[in-house]
Structures are given as structure tokens and as C-alpha cells.
Structure 1
Amino acid sequence: MAEVIFNKLCTIQNTSASSAGIAAVKNSKASKHSAFLVKENYGTDISSREAVQLTENMLKDSDLILTMTVYMREMLTASFPHLKNKIYSLNEYVGINGDITDPYGGDVAVYSKTFNDLKNSISLLLNKLQEDKSIL
């Protein structure tokens, strides 16, 4: 959901987001609730999108790495200390306390809350990136 929200809202030239998981399950697809919310809000079909495993090369090639939780950030910075200056949790980066809740296993209301939290945090992120283009 985060990748689509960012890429649909972003108007910064040559800037895009891609999503990958720390422990992606091979051949797993987007959840039906994620697919529904993304299709309903942005008209994008992600129902056949497969999970992508995060790699060190992906991290090296990225200008900024944003995780959904502080724990994920800590895992990445412990594994890749040489990249710690560009790894943050999304909410801490935009000045919000707390993590983005993983809706996995929840009903559509749980996914909807996470979708709205992501949209809010990503809107703040885009404002921050617009104000300080040196980040990218």
C-alpha cells in the first residue's frame, strides 16, 4: 500500500518508492484488503503483485530507506551499519510518535486504518522532501 500511495501522491521529478520486505514470503501476493483499498482509492490493481525480498543492493541504491516500525529500522541498521544514515522509520522521519501498524490478518477496517495512517505519514514525507530536495 505504501508504495502505491507514495507513487500516486509524489510530484517530485525522478522520485519514486519501491517496497520490499525484511522477511518476504516467496510467491505471496498482496492481501485482498490491501488490493481492495488501493484499487478503490487509486484505481491501481495490486492483486497479483508478489512480495519482494529486501536486498543489500536495494538498500545501497536507495537515497532514503523508510521502515514501518522502529524495530525494523533497528534490524536494518544492525545488519547494515554502513547505511544507518539513510535508514529511518517513516513516522520518526516525519515527526510522528509510534509505528505504522501491520494490518496482516485483520479485517478491512484494520487495513483501512493502516491505509489512512500511511497516507497521512506519506503526505508529511512528501512535504518534507519538497522543502529539502537535498535529501534525494
Structure 2
Amino acid sequence: MKILFVCTGNTCRSPMAEALLKHKMPEAEVQSAGIFAMKNQRPNDHVVEALQQQGVTLDTISQPVTGELLHWADLVLTMTTQHKQSLIMEYPDFQEKYYTLKEYVSNNDKKIWNQLKQQYADYEEKRSQFIQRYQHKMDHYKLEQELKEYLRHDWEKIQKLESSLINYDISDPFGGDVDTYKQTLDEIQKHIDALILKIQ
């Protein structure tokens, strides 16, 4: 199974998850990427130090999320629900692969997630149909305003469903000291252990 871990900038949480899974399961095919990542950035120094203290080597550099990467992956695990939402909006064709790491290893809320996937699919279809119909009839600003109003009710339904979910986010240590990064690493490690049990 090919696994892609995704977070915002790919210098922190997703490289931690990638390094831990490679360390604990060397045969795993795994990469990490960032929604807003630039290419070839080194991971945060605190990430490297926290992993070294666990005896884990980190030899990855950042890369942005691309359609090619999403096509390569069998499973795409995000660090937060927001990351997952961003992928659904930007790359809707792969949404059957998207889970938060915590969600994937948990059995809770499956019914709500299925409803959410359908809501997102309906939202995206309505959005693209509206744009196709009106893009030549109004300027860009007007189109954005009308589109927002047209989809407002659908977006409220999505937000309501999401607010009923358990918090599936991995804490963000950005800006913290090494101990803060170690706490996040411990949190990720617990879910990586559960992931290994699930995929073996």
C-alpha cells in the first residue's frame, strides 16, 4: 500500500509521520507532501531533534501536493480535517483516498464521514455547473459573489456535519520549543502504531 501524508507546509507533522512509519515498517511505500509546500525545504530543526531522540532518522525534503502524487497514493492521510477539506476542494477526483490519520485508525463517525463525502461531491458539482453557466455572463468579482450566495446553504450543511465530528486533528507544534514538538511526535506515534496494525 502506498501512503501519502499531507499537512500544510510539509516541514513538520507529515515528515514526522513519514519518518515514523518508515522506521517502524521499513517495507512501507510512503511519502509526505504539503498543500502549500515549496520544493526541497529541509524539515524544521525541532522535528529532526525530536525524531533523533527516538532513534529515528529523517531524510526527507518538502514537496507540494500534486495530482501525480495523489494518483500514486493508495491512501492519503492528512494531519487535520482542514487539510482534508482543502484536498477535497482542490482535487475532488481522489476524495475516496482522503482521511485524517486519526479518522482512518478510528472506527467512529463513519456514517457522518460518508454523508460529508456526498455533500462535498454535490457541492463541487453545483459549483462547477454554476461557473460553466455564468462565467461569460458576469465579471469575475460578481461571479464569486453570486457563487458564494448560491452555495451558502450547502456550505452551512457541510459545516454543521463537520461540527458534529470528534476532533480528528493532530496538534500543530509550529512556533513551540522542542518539548512541544516531542508532544506532537508522541501523538503521531500513537496513531502510526494503530495504522500499522490496521494495514498489516
TM-score range, shorter-chain basis?
Answer: 0.7 to 0.9
Tell me the equivalent position of 1:133.
none
Q: Residues 43 and 119 from structure 1, CA distance in 2 versus in 1: closer, same or farther, beyond 3 angstroms?
A: closer
* Structure whose residues are more often helix by fraction: 2
Residue 188 of structure 2 aligns with an amino acid whose one-letter code is L
Looking at structure 2, the residues matched to 118 and 104 of structure 1 have their Cα atoms a distance apart, in angstroms, of 15
TM-score (norm 1): 0.84
Matched, 1:32 2:40: no
Total equivalences in the alignment: 126
Unaligned runs of 5+ in 1: 131-136
Higher Rg: 2
Looking at structure 1, the residues matched to 22 and 178 of structure 2 have their Cα atoms a distance apart, in angstroms, of 22
Residue 5 of structure 1 aligns with an amino acid whose one-letter code is L
Tell me the equivalent position of 1:93.
104
Q: Supply the RMSD in Å over aligned alpha carbons.
A: 1.8
TM-score (norm 2): 0.58
Report the alpha carbon displacement of residue 44 of structure 1 after superposing the two structures with TM. Answer: 1.3
Sequence identity (%): 35
**CA contact under 8 A between 1:6 and 1:16: conserved in structure 2?**
no
Residue 88 of structure 1 aligns with an amino acid whose one-letter code is Y
Tell me the equivalent position of 1:44.
57
CA offsets per residue over residues 68-115 of structure 1, 9 Å max, x none?
A: 001101110121211111111101111184311121111111101110
* Structure whose residues are more often strand by fraction: 2
Q: Which sits farther off after the overlay, 27-36 or 114-123?
A: 27-36
Tell me the equivalent position of 1:134.
none
